[in-house]
Amino acid sequence: MKDLGKTKFCLGLQIEYTKNGILVHQSNYTERVLKRFNMDKANPLSTPMMGRTLNVEKDPFRPKEENETDLGSEVPHLSAIGALMYLANCTRPDIAFAVNLLARFSSCPTKRHWKGIKHIFRYLRGTSDFGLFYSNNTKPVLLGYADAGYLSDPHNAKSQTGYVFTYGDTAISWRSQKQTLVATSSNHAEVIALHEASKECRWLRSVTQHIQGTSGLPTDKNPTILYEDNAACVTQMKEGYVKSDRTKHIPPKFFSFTQELERNKEVDIQYIRSSENVADLFTKALSTSVFKKHVRSIGMCHLRDL
């Protein structure tokens, strides 16, 4: 059988091989998207979204108001969201929160929301060759980070779940999603986020252990460290659910599953300072310096820097 060589393109993804590892990116796809929406000549920006104000009435990402008009059919809002979601789900976790936030207004978008989409395009304009670099010089260990953005959507009192898992210091799984329940405290929101991250952790462990076993590699049975920046939440998961006025309304299932993983030594919930929690990328808009720091921490880099 003829050797087809190394895979270079796969479903819009590009793979670059170096002596130190591989870079998975979508620069060609990104350039096509920018050209399609006439943003290929736009001035680049350093972050994918503008800062948000605590004033609900001035929030640029507030729902459509009565005195505003919907975008006409000539504005390709849905097409733009679809293109950005493919990037955010495949190789661009750095835009996941911004895309998730703007996708909520697909049924009745306004000029404000279209401006937010163009902001993401301008960020992509300067980072079109960004990708995930999987190094062969790092220790192959699965790590998780979980976080919640309390009242991230103040218009209906919903919070944001965010988590990311790295293997060899590079992201392999991430999520940014508005919570379906109304959390009554930051601790409540963090418990929900940790529950979602724990479910993903169990699945990732089964996949990695299956690959290791079938490939003849030693299977890592050590518990997966899952970092969380809420000290109260970490204590509740490690020492057991304590029913009190602050927790009695939280459904026990959000504690039980994660605590079961703790007892079975599948996960090890550990505290991490908020400034070091890279899951912040998936729950809120960040300053340029913090944003760039977290992006580097999950293994993202430019093709031109290799």
Residue 21: partners with Cβ closer than 8 Å, 6 or more residues away? 133, 134, 135, 136, 137
**Is the dihedral angle over the CA atoms 270, 260, 145, 54 positive or is it negative?**
negative
Whether the pTM exceeds 0.85: the reply is yes
Q: Are the C-beta atoms of 194 and 162 separated by less than 8 Å?
A: no
Query: In the predicted model, what is the mean pLDDT of residues 238-260?
Result: 80
Please tell me the number of Cα atoms within 13 Å of 28 on its side-chain side.
Answer: 10
Q: What does DSSP say about strands 267-271 and 224-228: parallel, antiparallel, or unpaired?
A: parallel
Give the tens place of pLDDT for each residue, 37-86.
999 999 999 999 988 877 788 888 888 888 888 888 889 999 999 999 99
CA atoms of 185 and 68, how far apart (whole Å): 33
Q: What does DSSP say about strands 130-135 and 21-25: parallel, antiparallel, or unpaired?
A: antiparallel
Q: What φ, ψ does residue 17 adopt, rounded to 5°? A: -105, 130
Torsion angle of C-alpha atoms 73, 76, 78, 79, degrees rounded to 10: 140
Give the tens place of pLDDT for each residue, 91-118.
999 999 999 999 999 988 999 999 999 9
Identify the DSSP state of 70.
Answer: P
CA atoms of 6 and 207, how far apart (whole Å): 23
Other Cβ atoms less than 10 A from the Cβ of 176: the count is: 26
Residue 239: partners with Cβ closer than 8 Å, 6 or more residues away? none
Domains along the sequence of the chain with CATH = 9-131 (no CATH), 138-305 (3.30.420.10)
Residue 12: partners with Cβ closer than 8 Å, 6 or more residues away? 26, 28, 29, 86, 90
Does residue 306 carry a pLDDT above 90?
no
Give the pLDDT band (50/70/90) at residue 2.
Answer: low
Crossing angle of helices 27-36 and 77-90, in 10° steps, is 170
CA atoms of 227 and 194, how far apart (whole Å): 9
CA atoms of 205 and 144, how far apart (whole Å): 11
Q: 178 pairs with which residues across the strands?
A: 160
Give the pLDDT band (50/70/90) at residue 241.
Answer: low
